[in-house]
Chains A and B, each alone.
Chain A
């Protein structure tokens, strides 16, 4: 296999793994598939996919500025590739964000429900607009493929005319949101570690984005040159290297100047944070600056790649640190340290792989690499030519398609098999058990465990001549006035009021299947249903189960409602009538949509004070 086929195979395999993992994330949700917690709600996806992705795509506006604003025409050969990288980078940001959002289908809300006070609102709009601008900047490359179509040619000519205004708007928007991503963290002065937290965070983000833009364009150019066996333009590479040195020095001055000015330099050699900081600084500044400025090795392509890649890695690490890892509650020893889970890393890798594959597609099918001579003397010799009819680099499109799709399918299948549904489900939300309460006069029901309870006075309800069966609508075998919690055992989850397996097991009741199910029916849902109504069937063995004057007369399923649902169903039915006459409540909130209308902090009994005390059986705190 040639280089590019090998690279593509690996990317397709990653995409296959990410595909299977992505399905798991959408089926089981964020809580169980990621290591994110309330402590660290923003992790790898925000730090890498969004903040890193936006910064990684900064090459687009940096090269556009060098090319069109500062008028350095000799950088032209890489401008199209840089804009394509930026365009795909922003699309990857949007796709990565969809995985991180709890309700991804609400992503359009930002456009309609405005919140002008939020930095994220500004970032969201900026990214959206800049993505459109990037599309317009890159559109000529696509349109020029079909010069014979009149409409496309017209649009192409129009876009060429407004090229400079588009570039200017693009640079403005980039300046705005690259820095706004930093402003976002100005809102958390006590959460972000003092080495990273600074009032000039927006400026630092903007400058580092330019550094990252330059180094990323180098990485992208060198990598594609290697893969497609194309010569790199020495002039372009040299210009990039020199600009990168200048920008990295400015960044270093800003970063350390700010730290010393604020007096955070005392923290530079203490604790976990300092290790993170020095790792980041050595990747961002020390390694690239040494490689870029040492004579001899700064002309070698392999060393240049190492330097540029180290710079990219360092600045992405900075985004990760600011985004979540260097938050005080994360690096404090008491809290658990956040490290991204397998799911998070694979999905990010998958999104990047997808973007890279689309990048290759554009390179092979459109004129991304222009053949303009870089300057008078140096001409680039070998830009590979791609043609759909010709055999390219040993493998045809057909064989590639077969090969890559095979890798994708196998990677997807293996990952899908190795993700065990049961272990994921076991990691799920803990069931909230209802505390057993019996014999008290007053129940204090504090379902959310937040101190706001609703009280239920048993004697008071009895004195209103309410039938016992209204609430104690069913008894456990051999019991009288069974409490609510016995069947409605989960606060928010369904309970099992029948225990099917116990009835059928020989260790339990040892009943034959055909006592309840129809022997003649062996197919369809007909067999699952029982032959008689549950009420008649249960009564054959349990005489006292069904209470007289019970307010519930339908016994359709053996699953019981959650405690919260059961209580709501029971209480609201009666109290609805009272509410209609309650003028205060009616005036305030005629409907029951607001929990606090009923669940107000009870003035007679403060739950928090009562917790932990023995109450001589007068009232029972539930749960």
Chain B
């Protein structure tokens, strides 16, 4: 157990954290490069910039969603607030960061009470999100399997972290809980840049590219013909 814990805290953490950071940077880089290059291929290069801007930044603050499904939008916003603020501003995490790299947000970290509150909020809203997704026919139809898995997976480190911080238990129990906490968080780290969760950095870009791409003329078939060396020949 101790060896596993050491491994999870050391090499495995470095691996997953490095892949998460670099992977997210990669995603942003690819999005920008592909977005810029896409314009080269377009025949109509005029873009309604104002419309694109509205669409891009409108999705960052999902106010429009309140009109159609206010309850779902509210729960979703609460979930995101808890999800982002709690791990970053948690005092215990700041302490670990401070020891490792001598820099942290320790002075503006959350108090114990507010951290507990936010954790509970995240757990409840995460579970609610899954239930609401399953309850409505339309969203159930639109969802893939992973859409149900990710919120539940994200909730796991919150639950185990909450147990570690509050429950009084034997050292072995504590170690088991903290191991679950670390490993599940690392699992999230490593799948983050390769899955849907990458929307945390990709959101503005995906909107931007989508908005631009409407202007393009499809050139796919021509490319296939060129790739097959059958230019001018009947298929």
Closest partner residue, chain A, to B105 (CB atom): A524
Closest partner residue, chain B, to A394 (CB atom): B227
Q: Is the CB of A522 within 8 A of B11?
A: no
Q: Is the CB of A416 within 8 A of B14?
A: yes
B71 within 8 A of A: no
A397 within 8 A of B: yes
Task: Given A390-B226, A420-B10, decide whether A412 and B111 contact each other with a Cβ distance below 8 A.
Answer: no
Bound-complex Cα distance A477 to B41 (A): 79
Q: Is the CB of A523 within 8 A of B91?
A: yes
B18 within 8 A of A: yes
Q: Nearest 8 A-B pairs (CB), nearest first?
A: A417-B15, A413-B19, A391-B227, A413-B18, A417-B14, A416-B18, A417-B11, A409-B22
Which residues of chain A have C-beta atoms less than 8 A from B112's C-beta? Answer: 522-523
Which residues of chain A have C-beta atoms less than 8 A from B22's C-beta? Answer: 408-409, 412-413
Q: Is the CB of A418 within 8 A of B19?
A: no
Which residues of chain B have C-beta atoms less than 8 A from A389's C-beta? Answer: 40-41
A369 within 8 A of B: no
* Interface residues as binary, B4-35 with A (CB distance below 8 Å gives 1, 0 otherwise): 00000011101110110011001001100110
Which residues of chain B have C-beta atoms less than 8 A from A420's C-beta? Answer: 10-11
Task: Given A20-B18, A406-B26, A420-B10, decide whether A397 and B223 contact each other with a Cβ distance below 8 A.
Answer: no
Which residues of chain A have C-beta atoms less than 8 A from B19's C-beta? Answer: 409-410, 412-413
Bound-complex Cα distance A524 to B193 (A): 31
Bound-complex Cα distance A316 to B23 (A): 37
B172 within 8 A of A: no
Minimum CB–CB distance from A494 to chain B (whole Å) comes to 15
B2 within 8 A of A: no
Task: Given A390-B226, A405-B30, A409-B23, decide whether A523 and B111 contact each other with a Cβ distance below 8 A.
Answer: yes
Minimum CB–CB distance from A399 to chain B (whole Å) comes to 11
A398 within 8 A of B: yes
B210-235 contacts to A (CB < 8 Å):
223-224, 226-227
A531 within 8 A of B: no
Q: Is the CB of B91 within 8 A of A417?
A: no
Which residues of chain B have C-beta atoms less than 8 A from A523's C-beta? Answer: 91, 106, 109-112
* Interface residues as binary, A86-101 with B (CB distance below 8 Å gives 1, 0 otherwise): 0000000000000000
Q: Is the CB of A391 within 8 A of B40?
A: no
Q: Is the CB of A417 within 8 A of B18?
A: yes
Closest partner residue, chain B, to A402 (CB atom): B30
Show the binding face of A for B, using Cβ within 8 Å. 20, 388-391, 394, 396-398, 401-402, 405-406, 408-410, 412-414, 416-418, 420, 522-525
Which residues of chain A have C-beta atoms less than 8 A from B34's C-beta? Answer: 398, 401
Closest partner residue, chain B, to A527 (CB atom): B91
Minimum CB–CB distance from A469 to chain B (whole Å) comes to 35
**11 residue pairs from A and B, CB less than 8 Å apart:** A20-B18, A390-B226, A406-B26, A412-B19, A414-B15, A416-B15, A522-B91, A522-B111, A524-B107, A524-B108, A525-B107
Minimum CB–CB distance from B68 to chain A (whole Å) comes to 34
Bound-complex Cα distance A406 to B34 (A): 15
Q: Is the CB of A391 within 8 A of B106?
A: no
Q: For the complex, would chain B's binding face be called helix, strand, loop or mixed by DSSP majority?
A: helix
* Interface residues as binary, B87-116 with A (CB distance below 8 Å gives 1, 0 otherwise): 000010000000000000011111110000
Minimum CB–CB distance from B193 to chain A (whole Å) comes to 8
Which residues of chain A have C-beta atoms less than 8 A from B91's C-beta? Answer: 522-524
Which residues of chain A have C-beta atoms less than 8 A from B26's C-beta? Answer: 405-406, 408-409
Task: Given A398-B34, A405-B29, decide whether A412 and B18 contact each other with a Cβ distance below 8 A.
Answer: yes
Q: Is the CB of A391 within 8 A of B11?
A: no
* Interface residues as binary, B177-200 with A (CB distance below 8 Å gives 1, 0 otherwise): 000000000000000010000000
Which residues of chain A have C-beta atoms less than 8 A from B12's C-beta? Answer: 417
Minimum CB–CB distance from A384 to chain B (whole Å) comes to 13
Closest partner residue, chain A, to B10 (CB atom): A420
Q: Which of A391, A410, A414 makes the CB contact (< 8 A) with B226?
A: A391
Minimum CB–CB distance from B110 to chain A (whole Å) comes to 7
Task: Given A523-B109, A525-B106, A525-B107, decide whether A391 and B223 contact each other with a Cβ distance below 8 A.
Answer: yes
Which residues of chain A have C-beta atoms less than 8 A from B226's C-beta? Answer: 390-391
Which residues of chain B have C-beta atoms less than 8 A from A402's C-beta? Answer: 30
Bound-complex Cα distance A408 to B26 (A): 10
Bound-complex Cα distance A397 to B38 (A): 12
Minimum CB–CB distance from A148 to chain B (whole Å) comes to 17
Which residues of chain B have C-beta atoms less than 8 A from A409's C-beta? Answer: 19, 22-23, 26, 193
Which residues of chain B have C-beta atoms less than 8 A from A522's C-beta? Answer: 91, 111-112
Bound-complex Cα distance A402 to B193 (A): 12
Bound-complex Cα distance A396 to B37 (A): 12
Which residues of chain B have C-beta atoms less than 8 A from A414's C-beta? Answer: 15
Closest partner residue, chain B, to A393 (CB atom): B227
Bound-complex Cα distance A418 to B10 (A): 9
Which residues of chain A have C-beta atoms less than 8 A from B224's C-beta? Answer: 391
Q: Is the CB of B223 within 8 A of A390?
A: yes
Q: Is the CB of A401 within 8 A of B30?
A: yes
Closest partner residue, chain A, to B223 (CB atom): A391
Bound-complex Cα distance A417 to B21 (A): 13
Minimum CB–CB distance from A526 to chain B (whole Å) comes to 9
Bound-complex Cα distance A91 to B223 (A): 37
Closest partner residue, chain A, to B15 (CB atom): A417
Which residues of chain B have C-beta atoms less than 8 A from A525's C-beta? Answer: 106-107
Bound-complex Cα distance A414 to B11 (A): 9
Which residues of chain A have C-beta atoms less than 8 A from B10's C-beta? Answer: 420
Q: Which of A388, A394, A406, A413 makes the CB contact (< 8 A) with B40?
A: A388
| Given A413-B16, A420-B10, A522-B91: 11 more A-B contacts, CB < 8 Å | A20-B18, A396-B223, A401-B30, A405-B29, A405-B30, A406-B26, A409-B193, A410-B19, A413-B15, A417-B12, A524-B91
Which residues of chain A have C-beta atoms less than 8 A from B29's C-beta? Answer: 405
Bound-complex Cα distance A394 to B11 (A): 38
Which residues of chain B have C-beta atoms less than 8 A from A412's C-beta? Answer: 18-19, 22
